[in-house]
Amino acid sequence: MGLKISNWDDGKQEEFSACENSIFKELYLTYFHNNLEGPFFKAKKAKAVRVSELEKIKDFKTLMNLSDSWLKQLEIENHKEPIIQELSIETRRDLKKLNKKYSGLNKIFKRQKDDFRLKKDKIVLQSKFIFLLVKSVIENNDSKDFEINFSNEIIEFGIYSLVHIISRHYAEPIKGDEDKTYHYNNFFPAELHLDLKDILIEIDKLNIININLTDRIIFKFKNVTYKLWIQKRVKQVKGGGNIKIFRIQTFYPIYSGKDLKDISENYNENEISENLSVFVSK
């Protein structure tokens, strides 16, 4: 007896709320992976098919609706979900800067209003994408993966670290903040905590950095110089009271000639391997 294929119509993917995140990720990556610069393609039946103008308009309307819905979540100031709590703070800060830039007459004329709406949606939709990314990273890794033994202390790379770094130092075309530097190669968001853990373990083998005496670690990896900021914090542990920890605050590449010159003049470079070295103050 052969396999019988059902003729039952299960409906469309967009009709099921459980599919919302998968629909969003497909649309976001289709249109924003290259900052809305077409042509755009979707995978259909194992083939890359160019998106028609009609489908593009429909998809943009869907993304705008998703942006409005997510913005309502971000406008709430207190969340039980820690990822949304951190993301809402970051995103409201970015939106405040955008509103300031487009204040007054800039919102009266259609071109400026359309430009404002586009930039707002970029910020909000990126925030939703980061939420799903961070949630996936946290859920698919062991809690110990986010703890780094360094200088006889524990450095945490947690939700705050992930949200802050991904929000501020990735996706330059969407952010467009010229005061920030951005990761292009070497470090990808989903593996960032593991890559930094491996690097810090190697640096710690030299036993030349006391984390109690500094709040930054400067290192060179694959010919790019990076600065890692670490802050001493107090953390409440259930059943254990308050404990001292060190938390990774931010992490970014250094490209400024002035900053690189300052490092060269005031730090000694200690080679660890062909691709990794660490700088220690003279």
pLDDT in tens, the chain (282 residues): 444 444 444 444 454 454 678 889 999 999 987 778 889 999 888 889 999 999 999 999 999 999 999 999 999 989 989 999 999 999 999 999 988 888 766 666 777 888 888 899 999 999 999 999 999 999 999 999 999 999 999 999 999 999 999 999 997 777 777 788 999 889 999 999 999 999 999 999 999 999 999 999 999 999 999 999 999 988 777 777 787 889 999 999 999 999 999 999 999 999 999 999 999 998
Task: Collect contacts of 145-151 with beta carbons under 8 A, ≥24 apart.
Answer: 145/193, 145/194, 145/197, 146/193, 148/196, 148/197, 148/200, 148/201, 149/201, 149/204, 150/200, 150/201, 150/203, 150/204, 150/209, 150/211, 150/246, 151/204, 151/209, 151/210, 151/211, 151/212
- Establish if 248 belongs to a structural domain: yes
Q: Per the structure, how many domains does the chain have?
A: 1
CA distances from 137 to 235, 245, 252, 269 (A): 21, 21, 20, 33
Question: Looking at the domain assignment, is residue 37 inside a domain?
Answer: no
Dig out the tokens for 3 from the structure. Answer: 């396999």
Residue 101 lies in a domain: no
Does 220 map to a domain?
yes
The pLDDT score that the predictor gives to residue 67 is 95
- Give pLDDT, residue 156: 95
Q: Can you give the residue range of the structural domain that contains 214?
A: 144-282
276 in a structural domain: yes
Tell me, yes or no, whether 271 lies in a domain. yes
pLDDT at 15: 45
The reply to whether omega before 189 is within 30° of 0 (cis) is no
Q: How many residues does this entry show for the chain?
A: 282
> Would residue 1 count as lying in a domain?
no
Q: What is the pLDDT of residue 19?
A: 63
Residue 130 within a domain: no
